[in-house]
């Protein structure tokens, strides 16, 4: 049996953990620059607040309903996610961390998966304080579906085990094809046209139809719906095929130097991600853009691809090439809202074809980056050492007017107990 453990309204739950007064109030967490809603409590959902709704247009409603509003604090969420995953790993030797708030557990060999699911919920709540839902089934797809059913139906137990044909058929029948894990909107529209409306309908689709219309991946999904394991656990996440670091500025920028500083920091972050997964970029794409929603501003959006002389993951090299690209696409006179870098055509660090005419000593560069990463790890992953071009002005920094402290990763933010 496979269990899918999913944290309930994860970002909201993280904020409530340190703000007890928000437990009985509607709560929302906003995206970068306090733009749109990316997490909602059940109370906020009841008010009709939609995912992705712009906070700017809801200020009066948020105030009138006493909604607690938080800026996204990814440092805090990442720290609590690690704690949740650590607790989950104690319940099963094989685990796939699927996202920041989800994990698949292999429960093979457990005679009472229901009792184990209850223990998992209780363990995470006791040790971390985050509520979770658990779906247990013979396959990953069915476990995902069971977990969704728990949340949609608000099952008081907080878990569901699909250990019988009747229970499985009931959940399949209650799930529309567009709500199946791995089925996108175009596939869903096609399936509805062909008469497949529910997951139960799709589970009965002929194999040749599934392979022809949904590809081999779709055939595996259909088998999973039938209770035949066809998608294994990935205990080690596969390397990303591309790495993107792009963010909107906290304010509109017109000066090239400010944008250069922002891009240098984004390139440094991309380089660190490449080294973390043992990859190098063969091509980088750099872009700049204005704010399409400001009709009063002249609009400009330009990107450029650069093929690197030698595949690179060095912070110094990526910053150098990224700023060269910016020089070619920047135009004065515009109010810029965003810039970013995408590292593409990634190759393993051990399979790099060197360039006979390259002037960079890549062995020396690699040792420098190892030292840089080692210092960063010592300071909990913070980039304490930076290149001068990364600056310190930070006019481009995100707007986070409702940011909560980093309670679990910053010493001076740790909650202090007072005694009388």
Question: In the predicted model, what is the mean pLDDT of residues 41-68?
Answer: 92
Give the pLDDT of residue 99: 92
Put residue 33 in one of left, alpha, beta given phi > 0 → left and psi -120 to 50 → alpha: left
The residue-averaged pLDDT of 6-35 equals: 92
Max mean pLDDT range (141-145, 238-242, 392-396): 141-145
* Mean pLDDT in residue range 1-18: 95
The model's pTM: 0.82
Which H or E run contains 310?
Answer: strand 301-312
Whether residue 359 is predicted with pLDDT greater than 70 in this model: the reply is no
The residues, ordered by sequence, that sit 6+ positions from 356 with a Cβ below 8 Å of its Cβ are: none
- Give dist(CA 312, CA 260) in Å, integer: 20
Lowest-pLDDT range of 62-76, 201-215, 386-400 = 386-400
**Distance (Å, rounded) from C-alpha 38 to C-alpha 54?**
10
Tell the CATH topology of 83-225: DNA polymerase; domain 1 (1.10.150)
The fold for domain 243-390 equals Dna Ligase; domain 1 (3.30.1490)
Average pLDDT of 250-269?
Answer: 93
Which stretch of 272-281, 304-313, 405-414 has the lowest confidence by average pLDDT? Answer: 405-414
DSSP one-letter code for 293: T
Query: What is the average per-residue pLDDT within 142-160?
Result: 94
Check residue 394 and give its pLDDT. 79
For the sheet with 2-7, list strands across it: 95-99, 102-106, 2-7, 132-137, 159-161
Specify the range with the lowest mean pLDDT, choosing from 33-42, 158-167, 336-345, 405-414. 405-414
Question: Does the pLDDT value for residue 47 go beyond 70?
Answer: yes
Does residue 236 surpass a pLDDT of 80? no
Residue 381 has pLDDT above 70, yes or no: no
pLDDT for 420 equals 64
Distance (Å, rounded) from C-alpha 187 to C-alpha 258?
44
Mean pLDDT of 357-368: 75
Least confident of 6-10, 354-358, 402-406: 354-358
Task: Give residue 206's pLDDT band: very low, low, confident or very high (50, 70, 90).
Answer: very high
Question: Which pLDDT score is estimated for 409?
Answer: 79
Question: Can you tell me the distance from the alpha carbon of 249 to that of 135, in angstroms, rounded to the nearest whole number?
Answer: 40
Q: What confidence tier does 376 reach under pLDDT thresholds 50, 70, 90?
A: confident
pLDDT over 90 at 146, yes or no: yes
- HEC string of the chain equals CEEEEEECCHHHHHHHHHCHHHCCCCEEEECHHHCEEEEECHHHHHCCCCCCCEHHHHHHHHHHCCCEEEECCHHHHHHHHHHHHHHHHCCCCCEEEEECCEEEEECCCCCCHHHHHHHHHHHHHHHCCCCEEEEEECCHHHHHHHHHHHHHHCCCCCEEECCCHHHHHHHHHCCEHHHCCCCCHHHHHHHHHCCCCEHHHHHCCCHHHHHHHHHHHHHHHHHHHCCCCCCCCCCCCCCCCCEEEEEEEEEEECCHHHHHHHHHHHHHHHHHHHHHCCEEEEEEEEEEEECCCCCCCCCCEEEEEEEEEEEECCHHHHHHHHHHHHHHHCCCCCCEEEEEEEEEEEEEHHHCCCCCCCCCCHHHHHHHHHHHHHHHHHCCCCCCCCCHHHCCCCCCCCCCCCCCCCCCCCHHHCCCCCCC
> Which pLDDT does position 355 carry in this prediction?
66
The fold of the 8-76 domain, in CATH, is: MutS, DNA mismatch repair protein, domain I (3.40.1170)
pLDDT of residue 130: 96
Question: Tell me, what's the pLDDT at 375?
Answer: 84
Question: What are the sequence ranges of the domains in the chain?
Answer: 8-76, 83-225, 243-390
Residue 364, pLDDT above cutoff 70 = yes
Residue 141 has pLDDT above 80, yes or no: yes
pLDDT tens profile 154-203: 999 999 999 999 999 999 999 999 999 989 999 999 999 999 999 999 99
What was the pLDDT predicted at 233? Answer: 87
Rounded CA gap, 139 and 232, in Å? 9
| Tokens linked to 273 | 């991600």
**Confidence at residue 220, expressed as pLDDT on a 0 to 100 scale:** 94
What percentage of residues in the chain have a pLDDT greater than 90?
Answer: 69
What pLDDT score does 234 carry?
83
């Amino acid at each position: 049996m496979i269990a899918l453990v999913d944290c309930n309204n994860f970002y909201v739950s993280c904020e409530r953990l340190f703000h007890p007064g928000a437990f009985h109030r509607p709560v929302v967490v906003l995206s970068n620059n306090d733009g749109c809603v990316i997490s909602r409590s059940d109370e906020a959902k009841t008010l009709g607040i939609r995912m992705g709704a712009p906070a700017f247009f809801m200020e009066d409603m948020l105030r009138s309903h006493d909604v607690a509003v938080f800026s996204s604090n990814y440092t805090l969420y990442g720290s609590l996610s690690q704690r949740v995953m650590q607790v989950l790993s104690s319940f099963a030797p094989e685990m796939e961390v699927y996202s920041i708030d989800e994990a698949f557990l292999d429960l093979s060999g457990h005679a009472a998966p229901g009792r184990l699911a209850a223990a998992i919920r209780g363990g995470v709540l006791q040790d971390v304080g985050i509520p979770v839902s658990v779906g247990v089934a013979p396959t990953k797809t069915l476990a995902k579906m069971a977990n969704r059913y728990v949340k949609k139906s608000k099952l008081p137990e907080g878990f569901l085990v699909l250990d019988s044909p009747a229970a499985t058929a009931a959940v399949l029948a209650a799930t529309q094809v567009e709500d199946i894990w791995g089925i996108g909107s175009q596939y869903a529209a096609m399936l509805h046209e062909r008469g497949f409306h529910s997951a139960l309908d799709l589970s009965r689709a002929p194999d040749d139809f599934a392979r022809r219309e949904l590809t081999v991946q779709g055939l595996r999904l259909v088998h999973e719906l039938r209770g035949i394991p066809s998608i294994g656990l990935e205990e080690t996440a596969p390397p990303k095929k591309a790495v993107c670091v792009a963010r909107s500025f906290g304010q509109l920028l017109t000066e090239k130097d400010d944008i250069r500083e922002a891009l240098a920091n984004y390139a440094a972050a991309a380089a660190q991600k490449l080294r973390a997964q043992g990859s190098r970029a063969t091509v980088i794409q750099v872009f700049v853009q204005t704010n399409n929603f400001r009709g009063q501003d002249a609009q400009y959006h330009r990107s450029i691809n650069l093929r690197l002389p030698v595949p690179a993951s060095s912070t110094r090299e990526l910053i150098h090439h990224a700023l060269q690209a910016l020089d070619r696409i920047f135009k004065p006179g515009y109010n810029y809202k965003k810039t970013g870098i995408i590292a593409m055509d990634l190759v393993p660090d051990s399979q790099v074809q060197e360039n006979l005419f390259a002037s960079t000593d890549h062995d020396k560069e690699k040792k420098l980056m190892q030292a840089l990463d080692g210092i960063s790890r010592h300071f909990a992953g913070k980039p304490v050492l930076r290149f001068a071009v990364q600056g310190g002005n930070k006019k481009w920094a995100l707007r986070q007017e409702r940011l909560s402290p980093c309670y679990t990763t910053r010493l001076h933010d740790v909650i202090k107990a007072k005694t009388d």
